[in-house]
Amino acid sequence: MGGITYDDLLNATPHQYKSTADAWGKWRDAVDKHAGDLLTVNQHVSGNWDSAAAGEAHAFIDAKHLKVQASSKVLAQVESTLTTAYTNFAEAHNKLVATVQKAVGDGFDCTGGHVTDTKPAADTKQDRNDRVTLRQGYQNDIDAALKEATSADSSVATALRGLMPGNTDLAGGNGDGPGNRGGNGATATPVDYSRSGDIPVPPNASTLAPNPRAQQVIDWALTKLGDPYVWGATGPDRFDCSGLTSQAYKAAGLTIPRTSDVQWQQEPSVPAGHEQPGDLVFFHMGNTGPGHVGIVLDPEKGTMIVAPHTGDHVKIDNYKTQNPIGFARPT
């Protein structure tokens, strides 16, 4: 049998899973605090600085804040995975210990996980059959415990393969700070959208909106997927967050303010839970208003079209996991 062996499980110390989970939880708490500190700095920059340098600093800090938030979510998933594995592994360990103790008490040997009868042959056929049935029951219980332990152990490896760097960009630098740009203001490293791992365009994207204008907003924004984020840019092939939203509405025949804070101030608000495809979704409240905005794509899935931050590109992302502060529906 592959995976966890009989001796591994019998002599295991399941609390090690719990200790590891607790350690990841402490790391997550520290990252959460870092995310909060970055958001505070970003709000100060948004409310008190002027000039293009301030905007670039705002975009840079915002990019780091979003990465730290993403890291915190990954750490929480790792902690949850390890905690579940600890519970399942501990249950399997306890089942195995109890089974072996009972089997030995009934005169069976369980060395190596193979149950054998150490008692002399019974006198009657019925007694012999009973012993065979009893031995098989213990063997089945041991095999089941090993299977449960192996499943718990492999679940950790499977989960971590999907969460660790290479699939997830943990909060670390990747050279996307202010000044790391090409001579024309574009990000220094071009984005290959087909390999970016973004949420794919849903098959019903062209029929999601409740009215033609909202559908025009969505259709236009979807044509910009993969275009790089550049602070202050309004197209035609690079955008910041509000540059994308203002130009999407312009393409649909409606002029809205250029920046996210004024969009928030002037456009009619929509209660959370009542947002529709094509609405604006806002994040990161500062002194003058939100510092970030996207376009709702599918409220049921919680998706939006957004130009996230420096070093990223226009993409489909999940807004419900990013603590939106409100919605608006330009008219």
Are 205 and 297 in contact, with CB atoms under 8 Å apart?
yes
> CB atoms < 10 A from the CB of 173, how many?
10
What is the arithmetic mean of pLDDT over 5-10?
82
In the predicted structure, residue 84 carries a pLDDT above the cut 80: no
User: What CA–CA distance (Å, rounded) separates 226 from 228?
Assistant: 6
In the predicted structure, residue 291 carries a pLDDT above the cut 50: yes
DSSP 209-261: SSSHHHHHHHHHHHTTTTPBB-TT-B-SS-B-HHHHHHHHHHHTT----SSHH
DSSP 124-189: SHHHHHHHHHHHHHHHHHHHHHHHHHHHHHHHHHHHHHHHSTTTS--S---S-STT-B-TTSSBSS
* Structural domain boundaries in the chain: 6-163, 203-328
Please give the DSSP secondary-structure letter assigned to residue 112.
Answer: G
In the predicted structure, residue 50 carries a pLDDT above the cut 60: no
At 287, list the tokens: 């002194």
Closest CA to 290 of 263, 257, 252: 263
Higher pLDDT, residue 136 or 35: 136
Closest CA to 232 of 198, 259, 210: 259
- Hey, what amino acid is at 227? D
What is the arithmetic mean of pLDDT over 102-109?
93
pTM tops 0.85, yes or no: no
In the predicted structure, residue 1 carries a pLDDT above the cut 50: no
Mean pLDDT of the chain: 77
In the predicted structure, residue 190 carries a pLDDT above the cut 80: no
Higher pLDDT, residue 264 or 81: 264
Say if domain 203-328 classifies as CATH 3.90.1720.10: yes
In the predicted structure, residue 120 carries a pLDDT above the cut 50: yes
In the predicted structure, residue 40 carries a pLDDT above the cut 60: yes
Could you give the percent of the chain with pLDDT greater than 70?
Answer: 66
Are 281 and 296 in contact, with CB atoms under 8 Å apart?
yes
> CB atoms < 10 A from the CB of 172, how many?
10
Q: Is cis: bond before 200, omega within 30 of 0?
A: no
The CATH fold of domain 6-163: Ferritin (1.20.1260)
- Output Rg (C-alpha) for the chain, integer angstroms: 28
